[in-house]
Chain A
Amino acid sequence: MAAGAESLSPATGVDASAGPRRRVVGGRGLSAALPGAPQLLAGRWGSGGAALLVWIGFLWVLVTRWDGVRDGWGGAWDERLAVASLILGVAAAWAWSWRDAVRPFHSRSVAVSQWDLAVRAFSRNRTAVAGLIVVGALYAVALITPVVAPFDPNLQGDLLTERYVGPSLMHPLGTDQFARDVLSRLMYGARISLSIGFVAVAISVTIGTLLGAVAGYLGGVVDTLVMRFVDMVISFPRLVLLITIIALFEPSIFLITAVLGLTLWPSTARIVRGEVLSLREREFVQAAVALGYSKPRIIFKHLIPNALAPVIVAATLGIGNTIVLEAGLSFLGLGVQPPTPSWGTMVDAGRQNLLDAWWLSTFPGLAIVFTVLSFNLVGDGLRDALDPRLRS
């Protein structure tokens, strides 16, 4: 039976080296004991490894930080979110591995979508996968920070004995001028920086994709209006605009996110418009018109999904850029306001003591560098994976 199933390979034109997925070893017994292990044994490093890491990591946190988990469940919304993500992560790893191992091999679809091909191309790019692992780990840690952080980020220690303590067992990354734990502040800062980057880019991608697709497909007056508006927004010096708006209002996380999101979209709009202009001449779009489909249906169902590849790349790189920008604004005191930790404010706070307390600025600085670097690696990997011409 297995042999018969093996011969059921995808049709012509498909990357032959990838072939059909290999059969999962061990089955349900192993997947119940150690989620991801059967998939790893079958040679599927990506999905198997992710499941195993999430399962072991989250379960370890659940067990070792049981007190924090119990308190967190009755605490503020972010603590509940952290507990919920922990439990969901463990459950999801378990469920996925079980289902994947139990599902009979031959019932798997032979269909190979463009996304499948892109995923395969991406997973062969080691630096990009490394970047993705770092990004994934950062977001995972950010989600569960309230449970795993060793200290409250704003908790001040004894100001006489615990200020400017260098890295030690108690405080792995030292303490700052108010005797607060730098590691905890770094972890909470990650939540702020990563969320601002993600949400701002999500806003800009949504606006940019919508406007770009509509402008590109409808053309004419709509196109002219939208694109001139884009030119207007782009021609405005962004930093000046940001500083002006923030100076006018009280600086807050929401304001910064909104302002960043609302100034980043023009580049996405341009990319999408360009894609749509070329897609609209393709025959499947003509065929959709000839089948009597409405304009919204053509734009949302047929054009946007096809224009998404460069948007995903731009968005990934955009998150990195936005994190740097937010750090810059916070460094200047225009971004996130103390005592809320953000990587930019932490670098700023450590600036005066750079010579005698080097750890204050160094670690948040390194966090920014590694995060942005990872996003850029992922973005480059996606660019290569999503471009069929570069796929070998």
Chain B
Amino acid sequence: MSALLEVTDLRTWFDTDQGTARAVDGVSFDVQEGETVGIVGESGCGKTVTSLSVLGLLPVPPARILEGSSIRFAGEELVGASVRRMRALRGNEISMIFQEPMSSLNPVYTVGDQICEALRLHRDMGRREARIEAVRLLDEVGIAGADRRVDEYPHQLSGGMRQRVMIAMALSCAPKLLIADEPTTALDVTIQAQILELVAELRRNRGMAVLLITHDLGVVAEVCDRVVVMYAGQVVERGSVQEIFSEPRHPYTRGLLRSLPSLEDRGRRLETIQGTVPPPTDWPTGCRFQARCLLAEERCGEPQSLIELDRQDRVARCWKAGL
């Protein structure tokens, strides 16, 4: 099976007044057709920049994607693709939904107008046809009374409903890949579960691949097939959901898992990872996690590469992982 999205050695750097911020620094992963891949990590470790790089949504300058980086979508190289080509891909082949449902819809148009705009533009539909399809899409994303809601304005909808509308817009052109950047972070827990269930269901029904960006391992466990753990602009561990959760090999992944609340150890203080992610202008040489790592030794000062572990596409960036 060929990969739908194949990111190889992606380096996205920003030229800032404080120096060059190496926000994404050699990231590789792939997404197969119909698969859900989660990218997890703390704030500031390059997840969002990775996803925005795929769609070419970063402002250039200050951002620049370095030579040697490759983003292949369905075999087509996207790094250096023309503006026109990227625009044709966006919305049609690759869609994106964002974190903040409150501000991701245009307040001056009804939700129907906004979905219809996408439909008429990308699918060449007429006014009437687009409206019927908009109602159908709203119904598909689980909005009750879709024929009435279609004429309402974003401020009349709740956060969860707005996120559903966003999903309906993103789905309007039947994309092959949906990039969801923290789609549930701004929602309360019950709505989170519903939105995740919706994304999983749509993926099953439509055979669409999903790239899910999140800092929430609980979300990953629920919907993902494979996981990419990122830290300080690098991939530190990659594997299937079972592998990551049952036998995490990188100390950072283990730390993340230990800081998840669980039903077994109630009453115990939740563990945390001490410290914060270093600024992207100033990554340490050697292992970038060493300052916060409980197992750090002298050898961690040397640059770490991804180590292939026993199974296929199972890697970790720690010299101790293979031991």
Contacts and interface: CB of A to CB of B under 8 A. Distances in A.
Interface stretch (B7-15, B96-104, B299-307): B96-104
B110 interface: yes
B156 A14 contact: yes
B103 A111 contact: no
Contacts of B153: 111-114
A110 B152 contact: yes
A352 interface: no
Contacts of A109: 151
A182 to B, nearest CB: 46
Contacts of B110: 111, 113
A293 B95 CA distance: 12
A356 B92 CA distance: 78
Contact of A282 (B87, B90, B95, B103): B103
A165 B312 CA distance: 105
Nearest to B114: A284
A114 B90 contact: no
A104 interface: no
Interface stretch (A5-13, A171-179, A370-378): A5-13
Interface string B59-91: 000000000000000000000000000011111
Nearest to B110: A111
B148 interface: yes
B92 A112 contact: no
Given A283-B100, A290-B96, A292-B89, A306 B108 contact: yes
A327 to B, nearest CB: 36
B273 interface: no
What is the interface of chain A mostly: helix, strand, loop, or mixed? loop
B106 interface: yes
A289 interface: yes
Contacts, number: 88
Nearest to B179: A290
A105 to B, nearest CB: 15
Contacts of B156: 10-14, 111-112
A114 B91 contact: no
B158 interface: yes
A309 B258 CA distance: 50
A90 to B, nearest CB: 32
Contacts of B320: none
B105 interface: yes
A286 interface: yes
Nearest to B98: A283
B88 to A, nearest CB: 7
A113 B108 contact: yes
A28 B157 CA distance: 35
A287 B90 contact: no
B107 interface: yes
A33 interface: no
A14 B99 CA distance: 24
B256 interface: no
Contacts of B152: 10-11, 110-112
A293 B87 CA distance: 7
A160 interface: no
B92 to A, nearest CB: 6
B304 to A, nearest CB: 34
A287 B92 CA distance: 13
Nearest to A284: B106
A339 interface: no
Contact of B158 (A12, A110, A111, A282): A12
Contacts of B122: 291-292
A305 interface: yes
Interface of B: 55, 57, 87-92, 95-100, 103-108, 110, 117-118, 121-122, 148, 151-153, 155-158, 166, 169-170
Given A114-B153, A287-B96, A294-B87, 4 more contacts: A283-B100, A283-B104, A291-B170, A292-B87
